[in-house]
A and B are shown apart, each in its own frame.
Chain A
Amino acid sequence: MSEEILKALMQLFAIITKQDEGASDDERVFVDHFLRLQLSADVVKDYLALYDSFVEGTVEERALAERSAEESSKKKLTSVKDSVRTLSICRKINKTLTQKQKVIVLIRLYELINSSSGRTSQRMQIIDTVATVFNIGQEEYKLIEKFCLSQYPSRELDLKSVLLLIPGNERPVYSFAKSIRSDGFVGDLALVHINSVDMYFLKYIGSSDILLNGLPIHTNQIYLFASGSTIKLPIGEPIYYSDVISRFLVDSNIQKLSFNVEKLEFKFPNGKIGLKEINISEGAGRLVGLMGGSGAGKSTLLNVLAGLEKPSNGKVLVNGIDLHRESKKVEGVIGYVAQDDILFEELSVYQNLYYNAKLCLGNLSEPELEQRVETVLKSLGLFEIKDIKVGNVLNKKISGGQRKRLNISLELIREPSILFLDEPTSGLSSRDSENVIDLLKELSLKGKLIFVVIHQPSSDIYKMFDKMIILDVGGYQIYYGHPVEAVMYFKKVTNQINSDIGQCNTCGNVNPELIFNTIDAKVVDEYGNLTEKRKNTPQRWRDYFLQSFKADKAEDITEKPPKTLFIPAKLKQFGVFITRDFLSKASNTQYLLINLLEAPILAFVLAFIIRYVDNPAKDTYHFGNNENIPAYMFMCIIVSIFMGLTVSAEEIIRDAKILKREKFLNLSRFSYLISKVALLFTLSAVQSFLFVLVGNAVLEIHGLTMSYWLLLFSCSCCANLIGLNISSTFNSAVTIYILIPILLIPQMILSGAIFSFDKLNKAIGNVEKVPLIADIMTSRWAYEALAVKQFKDNKYEKHIYELERLESIYDFKGVYWLPLMYVKLDHTVELTGKTDKDSRKELEENIVLLKNEIKKAVQEEDIKSKPVFDIDTFNVKTRAASYDRVKEFLDVLKAEYAVKFSEANTIKDNKINNALKTAETAALFTDIKKGNYNESLSDLVKKLDNKNRIMEYKGKLLQVFDPVFLYPELRGRSALNYRTHLYSPKKPFLGKLFETFTFNICVIWIMTLLFFITLYVNFLKKILELPTTIKTFIPFNFKKTNETN
């Protein structure tokens, strides 16, 4: 209170007291008393003098007035003058004092009147004026008046806003007022609630020794009953602030709530005991604190109570419903605020809260939602910074206190009926801490039940709690009751002095550290040194507690607990997730730049370096002669996979805490994953596109841009999903990044580009078809697809591919297959008749081979010649003469192959000759060939470097030459057997042949889908956790527990 105001108040007092008879001594005593409450002794004197001067001044005026003719008129004059003066003083006060202070002033005025019991109409009129100017509602003003002036509260004050203390044995019935019973209470005690300023006032008329916050109260005086106050009665239980509040709460529209915890126990996966027999019983409108030393189990208890962990014994009942066993029924009732930040760094304060609200309050319309967000921000003092980005811990944009408040607001916005907070004040300044706890207190006053783990609270904060639960190491509950009482309890139990004093008498300060010092007090050895051994073990504390207190359980309310969580439909969730993620990424300039520029820059560097001109004399670049093209294609694929992995590797782990919360809220993991996938795919699409654009432009690869893009996009997407899988499995970002090269290297080795599949370790490699282990590598499918596509479908080759294919097939048959067949045939004829074991064996093998090959030759579609014999009838006993028919057949085939070859060759040659007829078309032809047909690539897919062109393998003759012209055999193949040689132009499946490019891309997408499924069921993580899950099935525990008794 400022000097001005005090002066004004003195004037006001003077005006009132001088009405009618003038200032009495009682009144002066009152003023003196009032001043003493506010100021120090010497200053009191000055103000008292001021008061006196005001009073006297007016007395002089009155003397003047008396000398004049009519007293009554002068009286009126003076009262008018006084009224005017009153008004001006009141207006001045209006500008400086808060409403609460004004109410107190008003009450003091009433007390003034009471002190001399002079209730004249003039005085009342002045007070009336004051009340009006102070903007105190008529009803409340009347209430205050009644309260202040009543002499027999228990009879006169049967009003809604009044709480009366009545003796235990009496049974009066009040229609409006609330009551608290107290055995052995003598006297009249009333509490009034002034709604507009949310204040409580106390008045006692009687002669007992009642203590308010440790100080005795005088009869017929009005005291402010502030938050955390306690009324101590000579006999009976003290009355706490929360008791008073809860009586008034019953009145309002607060949902009924009961929260009972019965014999709760919790064991960690490794067998250690986390909580031991915890019992709690609370109702609506309480702020409960949870304290304990390090390792006591505070966070564990909070987690179990909130439903995040399952207890090993006991139960948590919310309105009678078991939280853990019937969790569905209690969905949306509980709120949980973790200790860690779960904010999106790139989004603004507003956006963080907004998107969170969208996910929690799906029942609100858009404007309603925005309104709610604004309201919450304003109530938390975050409205001014709503558009500032949150930033991270290292790069703070908003202060620590603001971050914490924002975190709390995420849960607060849906106003859950039961709220759990894990150390909401850690790391905050004392002012910020107080603000936070204040906020929680307000919430509890609105009827919420709030549990807070608090560490080293200041005295003010400590006193704000309604109840305190104190845990000791090992999860023992060693105290559960009123906070200030705790100090006294611990002092008493250890026989300390002053055990009846909880808080300091003068300043009201409480020292919670005292409690912990007591709990943790160590034994002193014979040398006077402190040992490590505690005086009292946790069990001992627990025993003391159980002896001293009897737990009473609140009744289970049978109403359904109020649900305040309305999560929107999965599709809407998806919308929110994707918007949120997109905005978050878009606001992060660094991220955008790196990820968008990564692709074109890599492409440019790669393409530029390998842009090889083979003829140094001419210095013109021809795509056709660039020997690096096959390697370029390989690098493209590896780069795509690499980019796909790095972009996605951190995605899920970054959101780890947020995910935990979203699981708690039962939000759809599916929607979340789909949103992530959608965003990553979009990014991959853009990256692939930029890469192909730049790379293919520099190297002048024409015409297949979309094919390249589709392939690299598919690779990236598959890699994205692999990355998401590892992101979801491992706990640290470092592990994930180390895994990336471990994943990439097998892709490089088994792609078929660097090491040929037929030249690998026998256990892995395969001559006939691509080894199975390579089939799980994305790169193998991608490289084959790209190589075949680039060779087959480029602008030059596509005109003559089919003809070249026929040429290749018949040439091979004529030049390699037939000669070998003749040789085999002759050899077989030689072997018939020989009887020794080795010859017999060889003969059998040869016959098998002949059978296979003849059958294969016969089934060729275009071949018209058919054998006159049935090869299946040939066996080891067949005579040599029969083989003549086979030879004849081979001769016929030879002729036919020659014809067919010649046909294809001629058609092709004619086509080329046509193209070269005119100079113009010849130039076009050469340009197209040089610009689209790469020699090195064609050498690769034709396996030109292979010395062997035909190979005997498992009773068959394999063509290991010109693989890109060789169609796989459909005969004798099961429907799902797609396996064939590398660079095959078509893939066999379900009895048909499919284009390799299309087929391979489909395979990549099937793998992508598979990876999505493993991501959704968290398959990898479950595999890694297999050892621990197996452990839990082991019935006996090898470790000895440290517990005694």
Chain B
Amino acid sequence: MKLIKLLKFLIAITAVSVFVSGCGSSEDEALEQAMGKDSTISKSEISSDLINEIIKSIPSPVEMSSLIREVEPKYNGQLLNPAANVGNYTTNFQKAVNLGIYGTDLGYINMYNEKQDAISYLNSMTKLAEDMKIGQFFDYNMIKRLASNSNNLDSLLYITTSNYDKMNSYLQEQNRGNLSLLMLTGGWIEALYIASSVAEKDNNPALYERVGEQKIVLDQLKILLDFYKTDPHVPELNLKLKDLSAIYDSIKITTEYHPPTIEIVNGVKMVSENNKTVIKVSKKEVDQIFNLVSTIRQDLIK
């Protein structure tokens, strides 16, 4: 009878679906096992003042970007870390590093006034910031200020720096200072990557110098990263940066002494330092740097 056939059919479907839904549970267990039990790793005691000092001395990636703009008038979006990658970042390490990377990317985009890309990068950054619970520093007002000052380099610098400072203090209070450092590192790596990539193509001496200059920054970063070696991923990064250091060792940075000059500006005595910094960088070294940075960066943004 039709009815009985129908009933049999329904029962069959029910059985199949129950079976299928049962299969999925093995996945569950695997994941749970992989995640392991709750555990906290004891944080290292570092003086936040010391860190702040060092962090302050690291220049903003925005500067690098403005120079690049002068050298290479053409915008190359392919260079940047795609905004869609934001979905891949799940650990604090990944999120912080890539927030920094996106920050640099945003700076680059701003230089060229690419509004469309700016929006998607802002979205990604906001998302990462929310995930990291520092969304309050990427709120609407801040973004508006950034957008309206995109042509004014000084303002841009000021806004981003002061914002970063606030964020850094907050994270330090929360005992998450490692995150602000990772952001900085990420930002710096991306800046170096973009600069070296353009330098490699254009053979611009000014850019070469800039790339070479980063030796100083790198040294500082290494020291800082050493402080946070309890974070599982930091030592790994530090190791890679040591490789980079090796290349930088061959670059000679010397300071030529020039006597300081005194000027009177508006009835006030001003002393200007006239020391010149001389950096000797060859194309070969820039190429090497570029290759290594590319690899390191690739690992970070995947």
Contacts and interface: CB of A to CB of B under 8 A. Distances in A.
Interface stretch (A41-49, A379-387, A903-911, A1019-1027): A903-911
B130 A944 contact: yes
A283 to B, nearest CB: 50
B70 interface: no
B176 A902 contact: yes
A624 B88 CA distance: 12
Interface string B18-62: 000100100110111011101111010000000000000000000
A793 to B, nearest CB: 11
A901 B3 CA distance: 60
A795 B17 contact: no
Contacts of A546: none
Contacts, number: 99
Interface string A800-841: 000100010001001110000000000000000000000000
Interface residues of A, number: 51
A615 B2 CA distance: 46
A198 B77 CA distance: 110
Contact of B35 (A686, A705, A799): A799
A899 interface: yes
A910 B40 contact: yes
Nearest to A922: B34
Interface in A922-960: 924-926, 928-930, 935, 944, 947
Given A625-B87, A905-B92, A909-B91, A807 B133 contact: yes
Contacts of A947: 140
A914 B14 contact: no
A625 B84 CA distance: 11
A899 B2 CA distance: 67
Contact of A815 (B30, B34, B136): B136
Interface in A853-874: none
Nearest to A929: B90
Contacts of B28: 703, 795
Contacts of A910: 36, 38-41
B36 A693 contact: no
A702 interface: yes
B21 A928 contact: no
Given A625-B87, A703-B21, A899-B175, A921 B27 contact: no
A758 to B, nearest CB: 19
B12 interface: no
A929 B27 CA distance: 12
Interface string A683-709: 000100110010000000011011000
Contacts of A909: 91-93
Interface string B241-256: 0000000000000000
A815 B87 CA distance: 25
B265 interface: no
A917 B35 CA distance: 9
Contacts of B30: 921, 924
A925 B90 contact: yes
B174 interface: yes
B72 to A, nearest CB: 26
B15 interface: no
Contacts of A807: 133
Interface in A772-812: 795-796, 799, 803, 807, 811
B175 A592 contact: no
A803 B136 CA distance: 20
B173 A898 contact: yes
A134 to B, nearest CB: 51
B38 A907 contact: yes
Interface in B65-97: 84, 87-88, 90-93
Nearest to B28: A795
Given A706-B21, A924-B31, A905 B41 contact: no
A705 B27 contact: no
B6 interface: yes
Interface of B is mostly: helix
A924 B40 contact: no
A903 B30 CA distance: 25
Contacts of A799: 31-32, 35
B42 to A, nearest CB: 10
Contact of B31 (A625, A693, A795, A814): A795
Interface string B209-241: 000000000000000000000001100000000
A586 interface: yes
Contacts of B136: 815-816
A911 B31 contact: no
B271 interface: no
Given A907-B39, A911-B38, A912-B35, A898 B92 contact: no
A912 B13 contact: no
Nearest to A914: B36
B14 A925 contact: no
A916 interface: yes
A917 B24 CA distance: 22
Contact of B34 (A705, A901, A903, A915): A915
A705 B17 contact: yes
B27 A693 contact: no
B10 interface: yes
B81 to A, nearest CB: 16
Nearest to B32: A799
B24 A915 contact: no
A1045 B31 CA distance: 96
Given A625-B87, A689-B14, A928 B173 contact: no
Nearest to A918: B34
A905 to B, nearest CB: 7
A907 B13 CA distance: 42
A811 B17 CA distance: 42
A803 B37 CA distance: 12
Nearest to B39: A910
Q: Which of B13, B24, B35, B130 has most chain A Cβ within 10 Å?
A: B35
A905 B2 CA distance: 59
Given A907-B38, A915-B35, A693 B91 contact: no
Interface in A163-211: none
Q: Which of A586, A615, A899, A915 has most chain B Cβ within 10 Å?
A: A915
Contacts of B39: 907, 910
A907 B92 CA distance: 11
Contacts of A916: 90-91
A913 B232 contact: yes
A899 B43 CA distance: 11
B41 A906 contact: yes
Contacts of A903: 40
B174 A898 contact: yes
A928 B140 contact: no
B10 A686 contact: yes
A930 B92 CA distance: 18
A921 B32 CA distance: 10
Contacts of B233: 913
A911 B140 CA distance: 32
A928 B13 contact: no
A921 B34 contact: yes
A690 B16 CA distance: 13
- Which 8 pairs of residues, A with B, have the shortest CB-CB distance? A921-B34, A911-B35, A914-B36, A811-B133, A915-B34, A909-B92, A902-B175, A907-B38
Given A596-B6, A913-B232, 18 more contacts: A624-B87, A689-B14, A690-B13, A703-B24, A803-B38, A811-B133, A815-B133, A898-B175, A907-B39, A910-B36, A910-B40, A910-B41, A912-B35, A914-B35, A915-B31, A928-B27, A935-B87, A947-B140
Interface of A: 586, 589, 592, 596, 615, 624-625, 686, 689-690, 693, 702-703, 705-706, 795-796, 799, 803, 807, 811, 814-816, 898-899, 901-903, 905-907, 909-917, 921, 924-926, 928-930, 935, 944, 947
20 contacts: A586-B3, A589-B2, A686-B10, A689-B14, A703-B28, A705-B17, A795-B24, A795-B28, A795-B31, A803-B38, A898-B173, A898-B174, A898-B175, A902-B175, A910-B38, A912-B90, A916-B90, A921-B31, A924-B34, A944-B130
